[in-house]
Structure formats: structure tokens, C-alpha cells
A and B are shown apart, each in its own frame.
Chain A
Amino acid sequence: MNFPSLGSRDFLKAIRPFAGLFVVLLLFALDGELRSLFFKGSNFKMILTQTVIVAIGAMGMTMVIVSGGIDLSAGSVVALCSVVTARLIEQGHGLAAVLTLAVLTGGLAGLANGGIITTVRMMPFIVTLGMMGIARGISKWLANNQTVNPESCCGADLCRCPGFSMESVSQFMAYEWSPTFFPLPDGVWLALGLAVVMAVVLRSTVFGRYVFAIGSNEDTARLCGIRVNLNKVAIYALAGAFFGLAGVMQFSRLTQGDPSVAIGLELQIIAAVVIGGASLSGGAGSIPGSVIGAFMMACLANGSGIKDWPNYMQEIIIGVVIILAVGMDKVEPFIQRLFKRPSSPN
């Protein structure tokens, strides 16, 4: 047993994603080309818009990962829900109905994940790997294996024609170039609002404490009378709902339901959560961290784009950042020991 000094460590861990982002921005500021093109209101607006889908997905994934699980079906569920959104618009449903049903679709996929994981006692990795295939398959089936393009109405006024909610749904992610940061697309505000709500839920509610308790030590949680299975089902279902919402945003961004979209998105989402300080063994992680993680990845992609670096460079850079972010966990105690030699309370 060793007794590392405490107090500053929790704080350090909490601000690490922010510090990482700061370092990235600092590096960008050193480069003349990036300095002039990257640090602009209009550019940040674009980055934020590009962050929305991963960020909303990361909110659900954070809960799952903090509880000690994993959800590999996120990308497929996003695709499924984007197709569902397109089909619902085609059938002439209003905005509220489209949103509700698409989010519910994601929630059902999550409910199935959580249900199987807890009742059959299977590894989350395997169950959600299966769901990844199932959701992808259903979305292709639903879309007849091609993109679904609901037709927009003339747009003059809200005539009751099929597809009348197209405008309002695509409004979420509509990016309009302006020299200024504001106005931001609705999707960005929605993501920010949800991030605040989810941060409070995970940090300060009884449910949030249970999520951490289950991820920290499932046996202890059970010993303490927490209904572990019930909570897990709720966690996966809620995460699924977030992936559903991300699916709506995905539709809004492309203005079409594409069953082959978001392949590999789950890994981007997991990367954002992990960069944000979550531990894949559960019990640690935060919503602000994950959202910053998503934002940082979008910044890196954007910066590489400005530098006109090829795609593979971006991939290499983001890969390095993931390893660095998690590696800090191991390196930090070592660095701390270098600076503080003699400290050992009680």
C-alpha cells in the first residue's frame, strides 16, 4: 500500500481534458497559417457544428462506460435512427413526433442491449457487437439499401404536404457561413443544454451515484442494496436514446437518411469519452470531459484540414492523442513523484 498525496490530484484529473485542449490550441497558435485561419469565430462555429453528433453520442456512452460497460452499437444505432427520421418525415409526421419516435427507436435498441446483458449475463462487448450488426441490418432493410431522401415542401408556408417537417428537422444542423461566431445552429445549443443536464445528472443525482458505484465495483453496489440490473438496463436504454438523438442530428446534417453512414462512429465516441478522462474499467469519467474530448477531436480534424494535410495524417494524429490522453494516467503519478518527494499523510 502506498499513500500518494491527495487533494490536487482529483482537480488535476478533472481539468486534464481542458488542459489537453489548451495544449492543442497553443500548438495551433504557434503556426502562422493556422493562427490566421483557425482562430476565427466562423471557424469555431463550424467546429462546434461538427462536434454535435459525436458529443451527443458521447453523453450516452459516458454513462455506459462509467458504469463499467461498453456500447459498440452506437454508430449503427445512429444510422438506424437517421433512416427512421427520414422515413417518418416522408410519412408526413410533425417535428415532435419525428424526434420522439427516432429517440425512442434508439432507446429500444439500448433497452434490448441492457436487457440481454443483465438477464442472460453476457459481456456488454459481445451483446452490443451483435446489436451493431442488427441495427445496421435493420437500417439498410428499412431504407431498401439506398439513401432515403424525403422531399422538402416548397417552403413558402407549412402546407400539409408529405415531408413538411423536413425544414424544421434539417434546421438543427444547418450551417450557414457568417463571419461571426453567432448565430449558432440549434443543434449546438441543444447539445450544450443536454451536456449541462447530463453533467448534473451524472454528478449530483442518486442515479448518477449509482452509475459510478456500479462501475467502481459491481459487487459492492449489490451489497449496498443497489438494484444493479435495473440500473444497468436504464443506463443502456438512456444511452440508446442519446444515440437516437444523434441519429436525428446525423439526418439533419446530410438531409437524407443514409443506412451506411456513421460506420466506426462508435469508436470516435468511445475515443472522445476516453480522452475526456473515463476509464474503460468503469467508475471514472465525466460529461464535460467527454464533450471536450469530442471538441478536441473536431479541432484536430479541422486544423489538419486547414493545413491541407491528407486524411491519413489526421488519423495518425488523433490516434496519437488518444494514447497520450490515456497514457497521462500512468505518467502523471510518476511526474508528481518527481516534484513532491516527501509527502505522506497519515
Chain B
Amino acid sequence: MPEDSSSNAALPRLRIDRVAKHFGPTIALDGVSLEVAAGEVHALIGENGAGKSTLMKVLSGAHRADTGSLTLDGQPYEPSDPLHARNSGVAMIYQELNLAPDLSVEENILLGREPATLGWINHSERRRLAKCALEEIGQPQMPLDTPIGALTIAQQQLVEIARALVGEPRVLIMDEPTSSLTQVDTENLFGVIERMSQRGVSVIYISHFLEECQRVASRYTVLRDGQSVGTGAMAEASLEQIIQLMVGREIDEIYSRTSRSAGEPALELSDVAGLPKPSCVNLTLHAGEIVGLFGLVGAGRTETLRSVFGLDRLARGSVTVFSREVTHSTPAKRLANGVGLLSENRKEEGLLLNRSVADNLTLTRLGPVSQLGFVRDAAQAAASEKWMAKLDVKASGAAQPVSELSGGNQQKIALARLLHHDARILLLDEPTRGIDVGSKAQIYRLMNELAGQGKAIVFVSSYLPELLGVCDHIGVMCRGELSEVRPVADWSEQEIILTAVGQAEPKEVAA
């Protein structure tokens, strides 16, 4: 239904009005409103899980909003799928690149929009259009016949922008475009964005690098827990104000930390390097201690955990588990030594989705629930139900397939597997990603309890408040290197973020 907007001259290019979206029990968007004018660069700011990606998926037609309305140049805009969105003039550049690596630059730019008559591609026209698009982003020197796979990530990203421009977009959405770019490439990208803005294209720029947003955007909107909590002109807002809006929650209510003391060293990493990441990690983790690892996507945190756990090969360095050096290992041996890993990717790696809760929970240690190689169903179910009750898992029973549980409950099953295994060193990779706040709080409490029992925990997260709330020590990874691991009290939020983006050196003198 069209909104009765008082149609004055300054009709917004895109208007999002109280959009809500939930997935099962998880509320991803809870009333988001924002307006973008023509030619405006609008920064969408928020922490991981604030709802940025979901909002963008709604805009690009990948998801449908439950309630609320979208208006594009005064017309109601209800994209049914990404193609519809693209044809309506809303183009999206995703965080992970969506290019066909074996096709050439030219073919990729016009992919799905090939100039053709009766199915025959008009090659000279295609070349002309591709050249045009590359010129518009100021990259006329880009080779048209090179396969995409041979380009650098930054070049690929430029190709993707060129592709978005072919459709004459009215709104261009960029999701964390700089996360894998170098400084020079980032500058270059900003130039392209400015040029597009001058041509009247509205740009929605998503990033959690606030400095970048300040640099490139004229207005901002902050999302928190699925709601838009603040909007305004970039020039009038200070960094502190924006951070306040982003964080703005009662930290003490969610995080619990009882006093505990660190025991013997449990896991010692010395100059650990993998292929190609991490490049240098030194870390000592004691029993009864939670060490947080912060860093941007791609900084090498997951790779560190994987190579320590024996899933990936180590290039050099040494790994000592409970004072015994066992550098090269396999997951089976690590598990036997009491090391457990929780994957950041519970759907693709962490769980057997179509198998039962009981199978998932007991898989690493079927010994106690089996006899002479035969798994006893009753014992398996009993062992599983014990942990399900302990972690407050909502499921119809131990026999229910894991795929039918909500994200939070799935994650609890993956965690319960480590508990059933009685792992004494827990490597937790993004344990709270994509789950509801209630489950998050339960997982924080559990971690606190486990540390109290003397377990050693590495907690990898991209969500700074939870690290500050839960951990004893924090280390920051940047481009494969781990910073000094310091007690939480010795870090400021600002400092952690600067270290993560690799610009801590000038600041560190002051700190």
C-alpha cells in the first residue's frame, strides 16, 4: 500500500518504514526505519547480529519482510527475489564476492544481462558496455579478457561494482566492502563511491569501521538488536555518540563473572603459524581461565583454532597441551588429550543436521554409551538428556533431528558435545553467533561455570562487548598476528578496535 507521504520535492530515494522480520523464534529485525536521499551515501552501522545483513537481504529481495513497508522513489517496493530487486534498480554487493571465477572480466560484468538477439550474444556491444562500466568506476585499464580468478580480491570487488553499475542502479548496497582490502585499495574504493554519489546513485554503506563511515558517508543510521536506534548527519555526530548507540545495553545483566583463579598452564602456543594464516601466535592459556580472541573477519582467529586442533596443518611453532609438547596432531588425538573445538559454522561443520540430538551429542565419545562396539540407545539417550536438561535445550527429545531445533538450541547441542566429551580445553569459535539473546546469556553463564570448574577456554568472537563481559584476558588478531594478551582491565574498547584494524602503533604510546 503506498504511503501517504506529503510528496514534496525532497522525496527520499529509498524509504524503509518499520520493517520487521523473524526467523522461527529469533527476531532479526524489530521495526527498522530509515530514509536515503538520491545521491546520498548512507552509513548503516551496527555490531554483528544487529540486523544489518538481514535488512540488506530484505532490500535485495532475498528475504521478505514480515511487516513494514519499503518505498522506492515514492513507489511501493516489494522485491520478490534478487532479480526483481536488481531490475527495480537496487543492486547489492555482498561481503563474499559473487563472481564466476572461470569467466572473464567482461563476461562477469554483463553476466545475466548479455546484450543479445534471439539468444546470440552481441560480442562487440558486450565489450562496449563492459568498457563503459569500468570507465565509470575509473578503472579503464582493467583487462577485459582475464579470468576473474586471476585477479586480486580488490580488483574482483571493483569488477563487482562495475557489474552493479550496468543495471543503472538507483540504490547500491555495499556490505563490508573494505574487510579484505588494503589501505590503498580502500582509498580507491572511496573514490569510486564518491563518483557514484555525484551521478545520483544512493549508496548504503555497511561497515563496523566507524572511521570509514565518517569518511565516506554523509548520514548514518545505527541498528541495535534489530531496531534502528539513531539516525542523523555524520558531521554532527561524534564517534563516542555513535558507539554509545551501538552498545547501549546493560552489560551487567547479560554477563556473569564470578571470581576464579587461574591454575596450571593448559595450552601453550609458541610462535604458531599455519598455511597461510595465522602468521604468528603466542598464547598461554591456564586452567580456569577464559581468554578472548578479538579480530576482524579474516584476521586468522578461526585458522588459529583449526590448526591447533589438528584440522589444518601447522607451518611452524609449537603447541603444548598440559605441559606435553604435541605440536602436530589430529582431531582424534586432540580430543583424546581433552581438547575440544566448537566450530564457528554449526550448520556446515559443527553438526550432523539430519541426525538426532543424541548422535550429535555423543559422537566424539561413544565409549561410555556402548558395549563391545554396539551403541546402546537407552544409555545414549540418557546421557544426552542429562546434558539437554543441564543446558536447558528445548527439543522434543534426544531422538529429534538437530535440523529442527532453533539456532540457540543447536548451538547448545554443539557445546554439550564438548561437555559430554569432558574436554578440559575448550576452543570456542563464535559460540554465540546468530542465536537469540536468551541463549547467549545462558552460554555466558555456562562458560563462567566451566571456568570455575577449572576448564580452560579460548573464546573467539567478533562482538566486543561479550568478550569484555566474559573474558579474563583478551588478545587481538590482525592479519594473522596475535597481539599481546592482556587482562581485560588493561584494554580500552577503542584500543582493541584500533589494534584489530592494524593501527594501534601510534595510539599505543599514549596507552
Is B401's beta carbon under 8 Å from chain A? yes
Chain B residue, CB-CB nearest to A346: B394
**A206–B332 CB distance below 8 A:** no
A346 to B334, CA, bound (A): 36
Contact stretch, chosen from B153-161, B206-214, B271-279, B368-376: B368-376
A28 to B311, CA, bound (A): 55
Is B355's beta carbon under 8 Å from chain A? yes
The one of B349, B364, B375, B400 in contact with A225, judged by C-beta atoms closer than 8 angstroms, is B364
A226 to B350, CA, bound (A): 13
**A4–B353 CB distance below 8 A:** no
**A1–B353 CB distance below 8 A:** no
| A329-345 interface bits toward B, Cβ cutoff 8 Å, 1 = contact, 0 = none | 00000000000000001
Residues of A within 8 A of B332 (CB): 225-227
Chain B residue, CB-CB nearest to A230: B332
Q: In A187-239, which residues have CB < 8 Å from any B CB?
A: 200, 204-209, 212-213, 216-217, 219-227
**A10–B399 CB distance below 8 A:** yes
**B404–A6 CB distance below 8 A:** yes
**B364–A224 CB distance below 8 A:** yes
A283 to B353, CA, bound (A): 10
Is A284's beta carbon under 8 Å from chain B? yes
- Minimum CB–CB distance from A6 to chain B (whole Å) comes to 6
The one of A4, A209, A219 in contact with B348, judged by C-beta atoms closer than 8 angstroms, is A219
**A7–B331 CB distance below 8 A:** no
- Minimum CB–CB distance from B10 to chain A (whole Å) comes to 40
Residues of B within 8 A of A221 (CB): 352, 363
Is A312's beta carbon under 8 Å from chain B? no
Is A2's beta carbon under 8 Å from chain B? yes
Is B406's beta carbon under 8 Å from chain A? yes
Contacts known (A4-B404, A7-B396); A223 close to B331, Cβ less than 8 A: yes
| B352-395 interface bits toward A, Cβ cutoff 8 Å, 1 = contact, 0 = none | 11110001000110100010011101000000000000000011
Is A3's beta carbon under 8 Å from chain B? yes
Is B189's beta carbon under 8 Å from chain A? no
**B363–A1 CB distance below 8 A:** no
Interface size in chain A (residues, C-beta < 8 A): 31
Contacts known (A209-B363, A213-B352, A216-B354); A6 close to B400, Cβ less than 8 A: yes
**B352–A284 CB distance below 8 A:** no
**A224–B375 CB distance below 8 A:** no
Residues of A within 8 A of B401 (CB): 6, 10
| B146-179 interface bits toward A, Cβ cutoff 8 Å, 1 = contact, 0 = none | 0000000000000000000000000000000000
**B311–A3 CB distance below 8 A:** no
Is B201's beta carbon under 8 Å from chain A? no
**B352–A6 CB distance below 8 A:** no
Residues of B within 8 A of A3 (CB): 24, 404, 406
**A223–B341 CB distance below 8 A:** yes
- Minimum CB–CB distance from B348 to chain A (whole Å) comes to 7
Contacts known (A6-B401, A209-B375, A346-B25); A283 close to B354, Cβ less than 8 A: yes
A209 to B335, CA, bound (A): 18
Is B460's beta carbon under 8 Å from chain A? no
Contacts known (A204-B375, A209-B366); A1 close to B352, Cβ less than 8 A: no
**A222–B331 CB distance below 8 A:** yes
Chain B residue, CB-CB nearest to A10: B399
- Minimum CB–CB distance from A52 to chain B (whole Å) comes to 27
**A217–B352 CB distance below 8 A:** yes
The one of B330, B351, B377, B394 in contact with A220, judged by C-beta atoms closer than 8 angstroms, is B351
Is B417's beta carbon under 8 Å from chain A? yes
**A223–B25 CB distance below 8 A:** no
**A205–B374 CB distance below 8 A:** yes
Interface size in chain B (residues, C-beta < 8 A): 41
| A2-43 interface bits toward B, Cβ cutoff 8 Å, 1 = contact, 0 = none | 111011001000000000000000000000000000000000
- Minimum CB–CB distance from A329 to chain B (whole Å) comes to 12
A183 to B189, CA, bound (A): 82
- Minimum CB–CB distance from A164 to chain B (whole Å) comes to 39
A217 to B406, CA, bound (A): 19
Residues of B within 8 A of A346 (CB): 25, 394-395, 406, 409
A76 to B15, CA, bound (A): 65
Contacts known (A207-B373, A222-B311, A226-B363); A216 close to B25, Cβ less than 8 A: no
**A224–B24 CB distance below 8 A:** no
**B352–A216 CB distance below 8 A:** yes
| B167-198 interface bits toward A, Cβ cutoff 8 Å, 1 = contact, 0 = none | 00000000000000000000000000000000
Residues of A within 8 A of B355 (CB): 212-213, 216, 283
A224 to B421, CA, bound (A): 10
Is B23's beta carbon under 8 Å from chain A? yes
- Minimum CB–CB distance from A11 to chain B (whole Å) comes to 11
A208 to B359, CA, bound (A): 11
Chain B residue, CB-CB nearest to A218: B349
- Minimum CB–CB distance from A214 to chain B (whole Å) comes to 9
- Minimum CB–CB distance from A118 to chain B (whole Å) comes to 14
The one of A10, A213, A225 in contact with B331, judged by C-beta atoms closer than 8 angstroms, is A225
Contacts known (A1-B23, A227-B332); A220 close to B406, Cβ less than 8 A: no
**A2–B24 CB distance below 8 A:** yes
A346 to B373, CA, bound (A): 35
Chain A residue, CB-CB nearest to B25: A346
**A223–B375 CB distance below 8 A:** no
Is B292's beta carbon under 8 Å from chain A? no
A208 to B373, CA, bound (A): 10
**A284–B331 CB distance below 8 A:** no
**B349–A209 CB distance below 8 A:** no
**B343–A223 CB distance below 8 A:** yes
A221 to B330, CA, bound (A): 13
The one of B353, B370, B396 in contact with A6, judged by C-beta atoms closer than 8 angstroms, is B396
Residues of B within 8 A of A345 (CB): 396
A225 to B343, CA, bound (A): 13
The one of A7, A205, A220 in contact with B375, judged by C-beta atoms closer than 8 angstroms, is A205
A7 to B396, CA, bound (A): 8
Residues of A within 8 A of B288 (CB): none
A213 to B404, CA, bound (A): 17
Q: In B311-367, which residues have CB < 8 Å from any A CB?
A: 311, 330-332, 334-336, 341, 343, 348-355, 359, 363-364, 366
Residues of A within 8 A of B26 (CB): 1
- Minimum CB–CB distance from B479 to chain A (whole Å) comes to 26
- Offer 12 A-B interface pairs, CB within 8 angstroms, sorted by A: A1-B406, A204-B375, A208-B375, A213-B359, A217-B352, A219-B343, A220-B363, A224-B364, A225-B331, A283-B352, A346-B25, A346-B406
Question: What is the interface of chain B, defined by CB distance below 8 A to chain A?
Answer: 23-26, 311, 330-332, 334-336, 341, 343, 348-355, 359, 363-364, 366, 370, 373-375, 377, 394-396, 399-401, 404, 406-407, 409, 417
Q: With contacts A6-B404, A216-B353, A224-B363 known, what are 10 further pairs, Cβ within 8 A? A: A205-B373, A212-B352, A212-B359, A217-B349, A217-B351, A217-B352, A220-B352, A221-B352, A224-B417, A346-B406
Nearest 6 CB-CB pairings of A with B: A225-B332, A216-B352, A225-B335, A1-B24, A219-B349, A346-B394
